[in-house]
Structure 1
Amino acid sequence: MYKIGVLGDYDSIYGFATLGIETFPVDASGAGEKIKELIAGDYRVIYITEALASEIQPELEKYEEQITPALILIPGITGNTGDGVANVKASVEKAVGSDILFGEE
């Protein structure tokens, strides 16, 4: 069975453990290697805080064209930067060929 994990700073991700999701507090220096470890360990959905994702963007780009893992950006305790919504919007546009939020911005 595939697994779900969450990467980011401890304060932003510790609540996910109450949902039974494994948490991995990391900073930018260890995030790339941790993602590789998770993929090797059958993690197919990986939530990443927006703050961490902005620091490791080149590493995340390696997985853009792959079906798995699904790398999903989430807000951290510092707030929502809008990167997560933009990422989902771009994925949907790519999948359906249309801007689903046309006129709502």
Structure 2
Amino acid sequence: MLRDADRTPAGLLVTLSWDADTEATGIRDAHFMVVGTLPDHRKRGVATTLLAHALAAAKGQGYDRASLVVDSASPSGASGVFERAGFVPKAPYIRWALEA
């Protein structure tokens, strides 16, 4: 969690890794499950700072890669933040649903 100068939360990044995936693939992946910036703190570099810190920590802890899933149609501009951090699209993701 990143807090501003007043100690108010500004953003959050949650990383998960699954031992079973590492065993199956031989790749230790730091998966960024949640990357979020509170509205009052957007466009101030919060997500960029969180990503830089998380990527450095993952590298320091011996992870082979970092990954995340993002809605490419999101109006938040998240895709651009991730691309600037060095992430590249690897596979399309389609979510199917059947409304009850």
| Same fold at TM > 0.5 | no
Instruction: Indicate the TM-score class for this superposition, using the shorter chain for normalisation.
Output: 0.3 to 0.5
TM-score normalized with structure 1 length: 0.32
Identify, as 1 or 2, the structure richer in helix. Answer: 1
TM-score normalized with structure 2 length: 0.33
